[in-house]
Structures are given as structure tokens and as C-alpha cells.
Chains A and B, each alone.
Chain A
Amino acid sequence: MVQEQQLETVDINVNMGPQHPSTHGVFRMVLTIDGERVVDVEPHIGYMHRGAEKLSENMDYRACIGFQDRTDYLAQFLNEQAYCMAVEKLLELEVPERTEYIRVILCELNRITSHFMFLGAFGIDLGYFGTSFTYGFRERERIQDIFEEVTGERMMYGYFRPGGLAWDVPDNFVQMIRAVLPHTQQGLNDLDVLMTQNEIVAARTKGIGAMSAEDSVNWGLSGPMLRAAGIDWDLRKDKPYSIYDRFDYDIPVGSHGDVFDRYLVRLEEARQSIRIVEQALDQLPDGPIMPEKMPRRLRGPEAEVYAAVEGPRGEYGIYIVSKGGDKPYRLKIRPPSFCNLSALRDMTVGNYVADAVAILGSIDIVLCDVDR
């Protein structure tokens, strides 16, 4: 005789991180799970908080550049670009033509390296254990070599300056990049073949972590996260800065807002970046790299400025409150990873624990950008 018995289920808490291979840095989330289903997520951040904003208040305008490399450490040029644009607006500096082109070339290459990093790590999150990672890193390394050649650094470039650049690029700059771009294209194709049509990837990503267009806007998502949800918003097109209005490129847009669409948008975005780099190389003019009348000390007026770039993770913005003097009175960074990560709970609840990893991977966070 089978005795009818009420079985009780208990929600349990699972702590993921801070040291965990799939959290992409030092990040902890406490998952409340009911069996295999996630019923609640509490993200804990701040492990990497170094007070970049406070430190910048005590540094002069040139010295602050160093902190920009250290926020989103996969998109250093783009951060520097945003910061330099803010200071240039504040001081009303005119950036020379050649500088703009070099900046755009480096920024777009940086976007490609960042997306290679995403594509490689994303495969690991889904269980590829290395294939996508080696594919991604093989090609990323070639571009990384160019950055090293140009700036002398592999990670914390500190190459842009308010008004211009630290020094001119080497003579073989154009040839170097032209030699690398076919490899980049090939690398993206390899990853495309490896992952896009793969059944396992499709099963792990399609319909997972979907967020509607309306919610995406409400949560303040930006970059590929927002575009994957079907919203055609890219600062390069919609609020053109620098010289992005001179190039011919497309903005890939998804439709479902799920993990798979985010992956596709990033893959296509990297391809479009190659197009921009090619056009910029064709047009690269000669000339000075710093404005003619460059003040020795940078002193801002009493004013507030905001400048933002479309980074690989979304809108990276710098808001400077100046009260005169050679230091920013307040420097606020709008970190795209922080804003995108804040929606994690809404995306994850209701999915399996294993999907939480895929969703977190698809946000493509950089924890140093989250915590600053």
C-alpha cells in the first residue's frame, strides 16, 4: 500500500562566485533555486571598486586618462575617446583630422578585439571548452600586436590625449592593419561556422533570457543588448560623434532580444567594424596630430559637459562637472556594463541554473567597468 505523502519542496540558495570561471571577473550572485529553476537572483558587485571617480577628482585632466583604461579594460580606446571628447568639449579644443581618423581606426579595431573576447568566452560559457576561445584569441592577438606597436602597451594604452594623441602612429600603420584584416574576417567566419548553425548553441541560447524592447529601454540597456531586442539605436548613427558620419556601414539589429540574438548582433557588428576600418584607412590624411594652440595646462571653465561613445558593451559616457581649475570637480562615468547587468534578475528568473551562465555571458560584462 502506498501511503499518500505530501512531499515538501524547499528553495535553496546557491552562491555563485566571487571566484567562479563563468562570472567573467569578481562577481557574486546568490541564486535561489527551486530544483533546477532559478526563482530569485541577488547580484553582489563592488569587489573591484577602486574609486576611479573619486581619484579623478584629484588628478588633472591629462592624468585622468589612466583611469579610463582601467574601467572597461577590453575597450580602452573607446573609453579614452569618450573621456577625451568630454574634455575637448569642455575646453573647446579642435581635434585635427588625422587624429580623428586614427582614433576611429583604433576604436573600431578595439571593438573587434572586444567582440572576439566575447565570442571566445561565450563558447566556453556554453560548453565549448576552448575551441571558440582559441579561434577568438588567435585573431585577437594579431590586432593586439598592432596596438602594442602603436602604443607600446598591451592593455593600458593611455594613448589618446585631450585634443589629440600622445604620438603619431608608426609608418607602417596602414600596411600592418591591411595585413591583419583578412585574418580578422576569416576568424569571424570561423566562429560563425562553429557556432551559428550549431544545434547545441541554438538549444542553449534561442529564447533564453529574452527581454522585450520596452523592458530593455526601461532597464536602460544599451549597445548590442538593446539592439538585439530590435531597437535600432547606435550613437555612431543616431548621435554622430567624431567622424562616423563619413563611413558607410550598417547597424545590425536583432528581433527576439534573447541570448542568441545578442551573439549574432555582436558577430555582425565586428564585421561592420572591419568595413569602417577599411574606409578609414583609405581616407587617412596626413597632418598634425595635436591642435596648433594647445594650452600647457588644461583649465576648464565653470560648466558641465557630457560626451558618450558607442562602446562594444553600450553607451560609455563621461559627465564632467567643472568649477574651473585644472581638475574635474566631479567626473561621472556612465558604465554600460553596470546598466546592463542591473537587468540580470529580470532576465534570469524562471530559467535553469545552467542558463544563468549563458545569460550572464551574453551580457558581456567587464567587472572593472561595473565597479569602477
Chain B
Amino acid sequence: MPDEESQPDEASAEDQKSAETPAAKPSEKAPTNASAESSADAPANASAAEQPEEEEADPRPRPPAGGIADLLAEALPDVKFEAYQGMTDVIVEVERDDVMKIMPVAKDDPRLDLKFLRCLFGVDHEDEGLEVVYQLLSLEKGHDVVIKTRLPKDDAHVASVTSVWKAANWHERETRDMFGIMFDDHPHLVPLLLPEDMTDHFPLRKDNPLAEIEEWQGDELPEEGFGGAAKRR
């Protein structure tokens, strides 16, 4: 079968969105490679003279210039955040108190246009606290970003973003179920996936290990019958 004969649709599919996606790809790749080099260099250079300079640099790869992180900085000049290039997405870390400053702008600013909340979930980093992750996407511009915020375990609450994206409603309820993160000003923060009276037990936290699977105790079986037969002789 001829196998390389078909790149037919590329031109016809190239409306604005898909035209931007391939353009974004190489620029996303570049910093990842750079980081791989620098991180590989770092241990080798540990004893070299430039070590202090190396250490100053963030070990995490920088986001691509002119990408979503720069747009965020442009739209939100007075909010501090840290951005870096993750393996697939640009990841932006923000302070908990800034969440409600950032999210409405991220959604409504025409440069960002992050109108689509893909998903919202929690991560338990054990000693380093809990994390809430917002995955945002722009259907018009085709770019996306992951915004994260850290919460201490003993005071796990963050502003709800249901007023910005209605989609957050169930995601936040689920995150409350699983991690015990409270979302302030959520209209209806009651258990969703878990039983209604299960409000003090958060299954996806790491201090909730899975129960060990009980092994079938062969010798406790009756002598006669199904399990005992093999044991008898």
C-alpha cells in the first residue's frame, strides 16, 4: 500500500486555529531541549568556575518567549507569578490570594481568551501541601495553559472560580470530596461523588493508603470441600 501519498488536508484544514498550532509546536520544543542540555550540564559543571551563575538560574525551563506566559504577564502587570515550560504545557504557579485576580482576566482579556476550563483538580504533595490545578484553553486562539496554586494542608481553602466558569462547579465539588479543599463562595459545595455524610475523609490524599488486599487464607478453610481438597494430601 502506498503510504506517504497523503498529506491532502493540511491546506484545507488551515483555518486560524490549526495554522497557529504547528507554529506553536517548534517554539514549545525549543526550550525543552535547552533545558535538557542545561540540566545535563549542571551536574557536570558542579565544580566548574561558573557554578554560582548556574545555580542562580531556575532549573526549570523557561516558557517560550511571546507565548502564553508573556501574554499573562502583559495582561496582569501587578500580579506576581512563576512560569515555566512543563513537558507538554506552560505551567504557571500563582499565589492562592491571586486566583480571583487572575482568572477573570484570563477569561475575558482578548489577548488571552481562555474561555474554556478543561479541568480543575487537586494534587496532594504530602509535606509540600495541596495543589489546585486549573487547565485553561482558548478555543479561538488554540493556546492553553496550566495554572496552579499551593495550599497548606491545615488551611486548605481557595476562592471558587464558579463565577468565572460554570464548568468549575462540579470539578470543585469533586475536589472537595477527594482532597478536602474548600472553595470559598461556591454556590453548592456538597459531596458529589462520595456519600453525603462523608465529609471528614478524603480518599485521594496520600495519607489515605489503599487497604492491603487480604489474601485468601487457605489453611483456615474447612478440611472438606473446594479449597481443602488440595491441602489434604
Binding site for B on A (CB under 8 A): 45-46, 49, 51, 53-55, 58, 89-90, 97, 215, 217-220, 231-233, 237-240, 245-249, 279, 282-285, 303-308, 315, 317, 319, 321, 329-330, 332, 334, 338-339, 341-343, 346, 371
Contact pattern, B 114-127, Cβ under 8 Å of A = 1, otherwise 0: 01111101011000
Chain A nearest CB, measured from B13 CB (Å): 6
The complex places the Cα of A342 from the Cα of B116 at a distance, in Å, of 14
Task: Knowing A58-B210, A219-B167, A220-B116 are in contact, say whether A45-B192 is a contact too (CB < 8 A).
Answer: yes
- The closest CB in chain B to the CB of A214 belongs to B115
- The closest CB in chain A to the CB of B164 belongs to A218
Chain A residue numbers with a CB within 8 Å of B203 are 51, 54
Q: Are B1 and A284 in contact (CB under 8 A)?
A: yes
Q: Are B193 and A46 in contact (CB under 8 A)?
A: yes
Task: Knowing A45-B193, A240-B18, A306-B135 are in contact, say whether A332-B87 is a contact too (CB < 8 A).
Answer: no
The complex places the Cα of A329 from the Cα of B89 at a distance, in Å, of 18
Interface: B80 (CB within 8 A)? no
Q: Are A342 and B169 in contact (CB under 8 A)?
A: yes
Number of chain B interface residues as a range: 35 or more
11 residue pairs bridging A and B, Cβ less than 8 Å apart: A46-B193, A220-B117, A237-B13, A239-B21, A248-B8, A248-B9, A283-B2, A308-B118, A317-B119, A332-B119, A346-B166
Interface: B47 (CB within 8 A)? no
Chain B facing A: main interface SS = loop
Interface: B81 (CB within 8 A)? no
Q: Are B9 and A304 in contact (CB under 8 A)?
A: no
Chain B residue numbers with a CB within 8 Å of A237 are 13, 17-18
Q: Are B6 and A220 in contact (CB under 8 A)?
A: no
Give the most central of A231, A248, A306: most B CB within 10 Å. Answer: A306
Contact pattern, B 138-173, Cβ under 8 Å of A = 1, otherwise 0: 010010001000000000000000000111011000
Question: In B78-127, which residues have CB < 8 Å from any A CB?
Answer: 86-89, 91, 115-119, 121, 123-124
Contact pattern, B 172-194, Cβ under 8 Å of A = 1, otherwise 0: 00100010000000000001111
Chain A residue numbers with a CB within 8 Å of B1 are 282-285
Q: Which of B6, B192, B194 contacts A279 (CB 8 A)?
A: B6
The complex places the Cα of A176 from the Cα of B178 at a distance, in Å, of 45
- The closest CB in chain A to the CB of B2 belongs to A283
Q: Are B87 and A339 in contact (CB under 8 A)?
A: no
Shortest beta-carbon contacts, A-B, top 8: A220-B167, A46-B193, A342-B170, A334-B119, A285-B3, A303-B87, A248-B9, A332-B121
The complex places the Cα of A233 from the Cα of B208 at a distance, in Å, of 39
Q: Are B18 and A233 in contact (CB under 8 A)?
A: no
Q: Are B146 and A306 in contact (CB under 8 A)?
A: yes
The complex places the Cα of A5 from the Cα of B8 at a distance, in Å, of 73
Extra pairs beyond A237-B13, A346-B166 (19, CB < 8 Å)? A45-B192, A46-B194, A49-B194, A54-B210, A215-B166, A218-B115, A220-B118, A220-B165, A231-B139, A233-B139, A237-B18, A238-B139, A246-B7, A246-B9, A247-B9, A282-B1, A283-B5, A332-B119, A342-B169
